[in-house]
Structure 1
Amino acid sequence: MSAGVVKVGLLGLGTVGGGVIKTIRLQQEKLFARLGKRIEIVKALVRDSEKERAVQVDPALLTTNFEDVLKSDVDIVVEVMGGVEPTYDYVRALIEKGCHVVTANKELLAKRGPELVELANRHQVHLAYEASVAGGIPILSVLRQFLRTNDIHGVRGILNGTTNFILTKMEAEQLPYQEVLKQAQELGYAEADPRSDVEGFDAMYKLYILAQLVYGESLPLANVVRKGIADLSPGHIRIASELGYRIKLIAQAQKTEQGIRLSVQPTMLPLAHPLAQIQDSFNAVQLSGNIVGDLLFTGRGAGELPTASAVVEDLAYLLTQPFTPHPAWEEKTAEAQPAQAEDERVLCYLEGSCPAATPDRVLHFLREAGVTVTKLKVQFDLGGVLRAGLIATGIREEHEAVLKSDFGLDVRCFPLLETA
């Protein structure tokens, strides 16, 4: 690291990369006062060096060849290009060269994190990733502080702003999913291909990273319960509201007697629950510690400046801290987890047009099967058409199968998150 200057390379100069440059320029004097060095962007890897960009950059800094970054005598590289290939190969080469790496790439960490952590430790370089989980919310830094004194027995939250925006609009304006998704794409909240967000992959990657930090281990991604929001309807949202609940895509990590349980799925929350109050594109993370109790952190989880803020904070942090080995990341293999435990309360949405599907017959079947129904809300029951929601304990897949085969009902069960 040359005297008075920190040389930084960028992998990617899209929305977040542009935000990183803007943030460094805006905060250059404060960073100099804090670090005693000036941060200089010396090379940026891009797909198209001729493309017009929202931030002005000296064309001489741009390259489409990774080797130019590797040979440019950089001290730190900020990776915001996303994806796993060829990103993993680039990050690996930089670490082997002795470069510190700051990344916002949750998919890369969730799929290759154990290897990258081991590699960074071997070469004694920082691998910083605050921006990978919740954008501008410094949740990883908070967890590192709390883990010194608290046992964290639960982490849950809304980790994807796109899906939270969609669910907020669907409820507020009673619009179907596809219509709101189109609005989200027009506003820039959703990609042209929104599958990573709406099918729960994005939140799952972030949850994997949180579990590694909190528990020192995580599950293989294939063992995480993951359900998205693409099949949610205004009917689901209305019946939830009529029963006193709101649907959110909740990511949750818990340590149980059977091991770690990780899930990302649409979940029913009481309207008074803190996470039920998180609207639009905001994210939130709730921690439960044995000493501090419950804490809630909220803020914008994505976007140019929130994510760039976390990247630059990481950059500043690693310039002021000596290298210390990062705790190893481990994966514990486990049996595939059921979507819900047998004794878990769920909200079931029933819809169908079979004459046998009357509320009384459905309730009689469930009670005979040992299912406890504590609340029923019939949304529509006329001429053999039934739309209803019920809160039940003990409902299993075989019960759902009978409701479909014998009663002609489409069944969708949502877990309930009752405790604050």
Structure 2
Amino acid sequence: MSTEAVKVGLLGVGTVGGGVLKTIRLQQQKLSERLGRPVEIVKALVRDPGKKRTVELDHDLITTRFEEVLKSDVDIVVEVMGGVEPAYEYVRALIEKGCHIVTANKELLARHGTELIQLANRHQVQLAYEASVAGGIPILGVLRQFLRTNDISSVSGILNGTTNFILTQMEQAKLPYHEALKQAQELGYAEADPSSDVEGWDALYKSYILAQLVFGEALPLNQARRRGIDSLHLGQLTLAHELGYRIKLLAQATKAEGGVQLSVSPTLLPLDHPLAQVQGADNAVQVSGNIVGDLLFMGKGAGELPTASAVVEDLAYLLTQRFSPHPLWRERQGNHGVGKEGTWSFVYLESTGLQGTPEQILHFLNLGGVSIAKQRIQYDWANVLRIGVIARGFTDEHRAALQRDFGIQTDVFPVISRGEEQDILGAKGREVDGKEIHFGY
């Protein structure tokens, strides 16, 4: 075994950076045996050198100046500082110097990955990013293996543990959104500014990375469909559950005739769907391949040690592999924001000043060409009427007419079925014009 250490620089010693330090120290013997060399942290860039941290670090290794990291004799730099700036500037400079990079920064990759990969190839350095998607689930490595034999048609899943925890608490504990968010913040699942999580950005960044890996291209971020959970409330979750579904923030990357589609949206999943069973802060990724079929991967999607585990695995992998150019990423323009004609949706209607009966509203929808498979109607103590229907053919014209003629506010969510219309219609109910309709007064 060589006595010369692998010299590692660290950009950021927050939650994940501290976890990386702990993991390297805990697994030092195993890493040394696997790599044939010990691993040594030689520089750590921090914003506040006096901040109390969960892991001890020698004072002479800490710096607040990136130039000291750049000038140090490092072999690999681990970037876990987050955000686009100054991380982008730092990573560029390190690649140009010839340093291998391991990063957990999904926003950086989603916004600048195409450029950084080209730059890394030009300078013949590795850019590894397993920890950027789904934390401790080694999904990127698994997908690389599948791509050797499978044509993958879609990668979808629950890619944000914060929002999944919030939705779980809303459903199970009947907490309003803001109370569930506060609980997530108190437990450390959500940041003080949770906007990236609850507005769907975090999951979109991860979907973008998955699409680039699997399909070699993705839509620009501004063309992907993105909706978070910050406007959801208990009434919607309750009616969805009564209809046999659970709302999850579902991220999807699919290959269709029109190109790659990216979307992040609260979506109704049948209660027995594998992704509907994922609770708390866990993540899950479902992969569909032409040979392997559907596979589901579950695990901790965030946190100190799961993400650190992925970072250190990337670090070890780079040191045991010879350089080979990374497949280039591409962005392809397109307009893929419209769902397929005839797909089912969950239409949620709510009114406090009803100008008609529930029967009149449903009759209006029927006359307007909206096919309704299931429905539930609910009045609460404040005389708020809520109607939830599984329907297709609902349009913006229907939405405007309901507001104008009945004083009803509407919201529409996608529905994932099991592929057969009968699965949505169910086995009960009465048939009207060839369709089964359920009544839940």
Name the TM tier (shorter chain). over 0.9
| Stretches of structure 1 lacking an aligned partner (at least 5 in a row) | none
Rounded to whole Å, the distance in 2 between the matches of 1:34 and 1:362 is: 67
Report the 3-state secondary structure (helix = DSSP H, G, I; strand = E; otherwise coil) of the residue aligned with 1:175: coil
**1:393-404 alignment runs, 5 A limit:** 393-404=392-403
**1:19-168 alignment runs, 5 A limit:** 19-168=19-168
What corresponds to 1:260 in structure 2?
260
Write the letter of the residue equivalent to 2:271.
Answer: L
Between 406-415 and 53-62, the greater mean CA deviation after superposition: 406-415
Contact 2:354 2:408 in 1 (8 A): no
How much identity, in percent, do the aligned residues show? 67
Question: How large is the Cα RMSD of the aligned pairs?
Answer: 1.4
Write the letter of the residue equivalent to 2:177.
Answer: Y
How far 1:385 moved relative to its partner? 4.6
Q: What is the TM-score of this pair, normalised by structure 2? A: 0.93
**1:2-401 alignment runs, 5 A limit:** 4-335=4-335, 337-338=337-338, 340-380=339-379, 385-401=384-400
Contact 1:358 1:381 in 2 (8 A): no
From the superposition, tell whether residues 232 and 383 of structure 1 become closer, same or farther in structure 2 (CA, over 3 Å): closer
Contact 1:4 1:36 in 2 (8 A): no
How far 1:356 moved relative to its partner? 2.8
From the superposition, tell whether residues 232 and 29 of structure 1 become closer, same or farther in structure 2 (CA, over 3 Å): same
Rounded to whole Å, the distance in 2 between the matches of 1:101 and 1:214 is: 21
Write the letter of the residue equivalent to 1:287.
Answer: V
| Stretches of structure 2 lacking an aligned partner (at least 5 in a row) | 420-441
From the superposition, tell whether residues 383 and 317 of structure 1 become closer, same or farther in structure 2 (CA, over 3 Å): closer
Rounded to whole Å, the distance in 2 between the matches of 1:383 and 1:52 is: 49
Rounded to whole Å, the distance in 1 between the matches of 2:97 and 2:236 is: 53
How far 1:4 moved relative to its partner? 2.9
Contact 2:152 2:288 in 1 (8 A): yes
Contact 1:35 1:320 in 2 (8 A): yes
Rounded to whole Å, the distance in 2 between the matches of 1:120 and 1:162 is: 32
Please identify runs of 4+ aligned residues in structure 1 that moved more than 6 A.
381-384
Report the 3-state secondary structure (helix = DSSP H, G, I; strand = E; otherwise coil) of the residue aligned with 1:54: coil
Q: Deviations over 1:58-101 (max 9, x none)?
A: 00000000000000110000000011111111000000000000
Rounded to whole Å, the distance in 2 between the matches of 1:15 and 1:416 is: 36
Report the 3-state secondary structure (helix = DSSP H, G, I; strand = E; otherwise coil) of the residue aligned with 1:134: coil
What corresponds to 2:431 in structure 1?
none
Contact 2:258 2:336 in 1 (8 A): no
From the superposition, tell whether residues 381 and 362 of structure 1 become closer, same or farther in structure 2 (CA, over 3 Å): farther
From the superposition, tell whether residues 134 and 385 of structure 1 become closer, same or farther in structure 2 (CA, over 3 Å): closer
How far 1:384 moved relative to its partner? 7.7
Q: What is the TM-score of this pair, normalised by structure 1? A: 0.97
Rounded to whole Å, the distance in 1 between the matches of 2:199 and 2:9 is: 33
Q: Deviations over 1:117-161 (max 9, x none)?
A: 000000000000000011000000000000000000011000000
> How many aligned positions are there?
418
